[in-house]
Structure 1
């Protein structure tokens, strides 16, 4: 992101934080360089993140897919530490060529409002009506924790990488100690597509997870990237 754009959106983060209040976390990601980073954040205690926190798995996917032609994405589930469900929205910042250079994210913690709503229902409605409504809401939250479109907020690069690695390994369905070289290459290819190797230290994390040497992972990556260039 150029400096003028960076300054403009940084001020916007500050403005939104002051306007919306303490139940809203506002973050600004700069993804224009090799490694993406949070460059401004308000109310980071909501997700437990700070300026040193890595991008989420969903953010990595948006980066590798160049936001898939979208301008924004609204009202999807985010899952923070302690299984706190957030209502999240992201605005994709693009340059004049349509390339993704930043992301402005708003995460709303509505847990306090849900508690107040429950108390209000208890005052003005019969108990069984309240219980039915609470049960419906709880079922929705339980189902969305493992939904594929749920964004998970992590507090370290290691936790982001491990989260995606475990997801890919579970999709493959083969124990790590029984993976063939071809299967490991396929897994590395999937991790590459999801942007995991944009994270610092990702190669070491992947090599440990796949029980391979870092040199082997680098070799797989070189082969995958070479084949991708040849296909264009």
Structure 2
């Protein structure tokens, strides 16, 4: 089972990766989801998805929170391998991401592999190498909408501050904005306005703070 955005998939870079994505999905099997993301449009990043039932996503779904964070940080690593995840239904998932860059070295996309370990864990003693994950890696979620992605990142920042937004002092609110910026939330259109409403300040207050950051 697969879905492809024919218009986006016609881009020379993504067109090159389509047979690779299909080959991985068909070789590993139906428990392996392979996703091709266009990171120039993170609010609707999925260009192609094979075996989307693993995470329940489809073409047009947004990038994950981890992916947005990687894009924001500008990390040089092109491979993120064998990190653990969970789907909305609680499936244990093993993931790997391959960063795609253009000729000038800019990140334009990524190829992600998500393997549902449910059946494999039943035979863990025989498939130990297949099920091994690096526990120190940060988990990511699989949002089905931009609003869900935004809420996930805000909730994570609130958790790190340790206080509800309404009880935060000024310095804590500034730290809250810093955390959201580092996660890459403000790369998504409209989120500065939404966060300004949450904090009961003008969006220009947030713009001014972000401009003053080192």
TM-score if structure 2 supplies the norm length?
Answer: 0.81
Residues 1-232 of structure 1 aligned to structure 2 (within 5 Å)? 3-33=11-41, 35=43, 37-66=45-74, 68-115=75-122, 117=123, 149-203=138-192, 205-207=194-196, 210-212=198-200, 216=202, 218-228=203-213, 231=214
TM-score if structure 1 supplies the norm length?
Answer: 0.75
Q: What SS does the aligned partner of 1:27 have?
A: strand
The 8 Å contact of residues 96 and 114 in structure 2, kept in 1 or not, is answered as yes
Query: Given the superposition, is the C-alpha separation of residues 198 and 220 from structure 1 closer, same or farther in structure 2, using an over 3 Å criterion?
Result: same
Query: Given the superposition, is the C-alpha separation of residues 154 and 187 from structure 1 closer, same or farther in structure 2, using an over 3 Å criterion?
Result: same
More helix by share: 1
The 8 Å contact of residues 176 and 211 in structure 1, kept in 2 or not, is answered as yes
Q: What SS does the aligned partner of 2:89 have?
A: helix
- Report what 2:5 is aligned to: none
The alpha-carbon deviation at position 189 of structure 1 amounts to: 2.3
Q: Deviations over 1:16-50 (max 9, x none)?
A: 22222201000011113575611111111101111
Q: What SS does the aligned partner of 1:88 have?
A: strand
Structure 1 unmatched runs, 5+? 122-136
Query: Given the superposition, is the C-alpha separation of residues 184 and 31 from structure 1 closer, same or farther in structure 2, using an over 3 Å criterion?
Result: same
The alpha-carbon deviation at position 53 of structure 1 amounts to: 1.6
CA RMSD of aligned residues (A): 2.9
In 1, the alpha carbon distance for the partners of 2:207 and 2:138 equals 30
In 2, the alpha carbon distance for the partners of 1:78 and 1:204 equals 30
Q: Deviations over 1:129-168 (max 9, x none)?
A: xxxxxxxx9xx99xx6xx7611221222222211221111
Query: Given the superposition, is the C-alpha separation of residues 192 and 93 from structure 1 closer, same or farther in structure 2, using an over 3 Å criterion?
Result: same
- Report what 1:133 is aligned to: none
Q: What SS does the aligned partner of 1:92 have?
A: strand
- Rg comparison, structure with higher value: 1
